Amino acid sequence: MTISPNWYLIVGAVLFTIGAVGLLVRRNVLVMFMCVELMLNAANLTFITFAGPRALDDIGGQSVVFFVMVVAAAEVVVGLGIIVAIYRRRAGASADDLHILKG
């Protein structure tokens, strides 16, 4: 029994929707950060689905996923640095508290 590429696309769409709704609804910086990572992983799943032998059979999707993972790793380094700087100043920081990083 093989799984159709449509199922992978549905899972990717659901993951992306969960990440987008979480990003728009939540105000906690860590939760928002995880939602962005969830959205990136959903896009990666879509790229890998189209790169597979049952869809387009093209290596280009896998190379795009590699670059997305590199950007996500850089985002984690910079993002977690900013989040740690915010939490050092305030214990319960939210997305509205980013103005405390000025000067």
Summarize pLDDT for 63-103 with one digit per residue, the tens: 889 998 999 899 889 988 888 887 787 777 677 766 766 76
The pTM of this model reads: 0.79
Q: What is the CA radius of gyration of the chain?
A: 17
Q: Which residues have CB under 8 Å from 19's CB, separation 6+?
A: 35, 36, 37, 38, 39, 42
Domains contained in the chain, number:
1
The domain in which residue 49 lies consists of 5-101
Structure tokens at 48: 């890998």
**36: domain CATH number?**
1.10.287.3510
pLDDT of residue 101: 65
Pick from 69, 52, 51, 68: which is nearest to 60 by CA? Answer: 51
Summarize pLDDT for 10-64 with one digit per residue, the tens: 999 999 999 999 999 988 888 888 999 999 999 999 988 888 777 677 788 888 8
- How distant is the alpha carbon of residue 46 from its chain centre? 13
